[in-house]
Amino acid sequence: MALRVVLVMTGVVALVVGGLVYFQALSLKQVTRVWHPATPTAAIVPTPPAGVPLVVAAARIEDVPIYLSGIGTVQAYNTVNVQTQVDGQISRILFREGQDVKAGDKLAIIDPRPYQAQLQQQIAARMRDLALLQGARLDLVRYAELVKKDYATQQQVDQEQAQVGRYEGAVANDEAQIAYAQTQLGFTSMTSPIDGRVGIRQVDVGNFVRAAQGTTIVVVTQLQPISVIFTVSAAAAERGGLDLGIAHVPVIALAQDNTTELDRGTTDVVDNMVDQTTGTIKLKANFPNEALKLWPGNFVNGRLIVDTHQGAVTVPSVAVRHGPRCDFAWIVRADQTAVTRCVTVGQTFADRTLIEKGLAKGTEVVVDGQYRLDEGSKVEITHRPPARSASSD
């Protein structure tokens, strides 16, 4: 029994000692791995930096309109305040507010009965005077025959001749009074003198109106065509070759965003006087206004096309930058590097800019990504719009 206990104890001690030896060896191996010098590897070659991503567009040749800019006020081509020319009560209104009317269309009726009665009185007076005139002429003929036979005196003949003249004058006066009465009766029907659109009714049925008061029944405005009065710099007008008086110059009317086109027309008149306080001059232009986008009283921007630059170099407007020395554009060279190029900027139209000097056709200019560029930066073109066909140049 004692021998068995000794053997068990000896086995346990052996196991403990073996475990300690194993863990010690394992620790030494890990320490050796940590402090063992690294195995030499292949040298790492640095990757060259990528180019700055850009969007470019090529300068192209096209015809560029040269224009003057100005602010204009839309005015109706014709405006008429429809007012009564006779006194009376309005018996009928024959239009709807906002209705389009033609010249001669009836708009309102004033009670015509008093004027019809006056006309009938004048007609009756003429009939009376015509009868008296006819009798006086017959008497004149009789006395003219009697004086030949010495049955009447020349004085009687002369008196009958005067009587005929008096009645002829009365008839002429009656005819004038009839014409006046007919005119007054005609004024009881108020008509539109122009083609246009009526506004808001200002007098209702049943009201008594007087010609002396100048009461407006409704306003009729002619919208097609329509006029715009533009104000431009007098110096710019002179440089554009505009002369005082009649001037047929194409003009484009734009909305207040200066982009949306409203209509195209022609400048007809250049005012004969310059405003000394502002140095501006007025121009009147007419537009067909077929789409009715121009309304009287609105403000519009105008572009008066005074010339066209044939075969000009143009680039997208976003490519042009403003610097302390000059206006410039970033261009991409054949070695895929970007540099600045000073340019002389001309007319800007739509989203493109005329380049008078500094660029040639086909030169690639940067339109997006300029803010990341330095002089001589390596670039990578991410988008290049397709070139336009030769026919479009």
Is residue 48 in a domain? no
Per DSSP, the residues of 216-244 read EEEEEEEEEEEEEEEEEEHHHHHHTT--S
Is residue 251 in a domain? yes
For residue 116, name the pLDDT band (cuts at 50, 70, 90): very high
Domain final residue, candidates 167, 187, 207:
187
Percent of the chain at pLDDT > 90 equals: 39
Residues 196/198/203/208 CA torsion (nearest 10 deg): 20
Question: Has residue 29 got a pLDDT over 60?
Answer: no
Is residue 29 in a domain? no
Highest-confidence segment of 21-35, 144-158, 378-392: 144-158
Is residue 366 in a domain? yes
Q: Which domain holds residue 273?
A: 67-76+222-308
Q: ∠ at Cα 16 (13, 17), nearest 5°?
A: 85
Domain final residue, candidates 187, 213, 231:
187
For residue 24, name the pLDDT band (cuts at 50, 70, 90): low
Q: Which residue has the higher pLDDT, 199 or 15?
A: 199
Domain final residue, candidates 277, 308, 339:
308
Is residue 90 in a domain? no
Whole-number Å distance between alpha carbons of 336 and 211? 83
For residue 262, name the pLDDT band (cuts at 50, 70, 90): very high
pLDDT given at position 193: 93
Segment 243-254 shows an average pLDDT of 81
230 and 302 co-located in one domain? yes
- Look at the pTM and tell me if it is higher than 0.85: no
Q: Could you give the number of structural domains in the chain?
A: 3
Question: Has residue 62 got a pLDDT over 50?
Answer: yes
pLDDT given at position 11: 58
Q: Which residue has the higher pLDDT, 161 or 66?
A: 161
Percent of the chain at pLDDT > 70 equals: 83
Segment 309-315 shows an average pLDDT of 87
CATH number at 253 reads 2.40.30.170
Is residue 126 in a domain? yes
Segment 16-42 shows an average pLDDT of 48
Distances from the Cα of 32 to the Cαs of 23, 35, 36, in angstroms?
A: 14, 5, 6
Is residue 199 in a domain? no
289 and 227 co-located in one domain? yes
CATH number at 346 reads 2.40.420.20
pLDDT given at position 16: 54
276 and 334 co-located in one domain? no
291 and 242 co-located in one domain? yes
Is residue 329 in a domain? yes
| pLDDT tens figures, 173-220 | 999 999 999 999 999 999 999 999 999 999 999 999 999 998 899 999
274 and 332 co-located in one domain? no
176 and 117 co-located in one domain? yes
Question: Has residue 154 got a pLDDT over 60?
Answer: yes
pLDDT given at position 323: 86
Segment 230-248 shows an average pLDDT of 76
CATH number at 127 reads 1.10.287
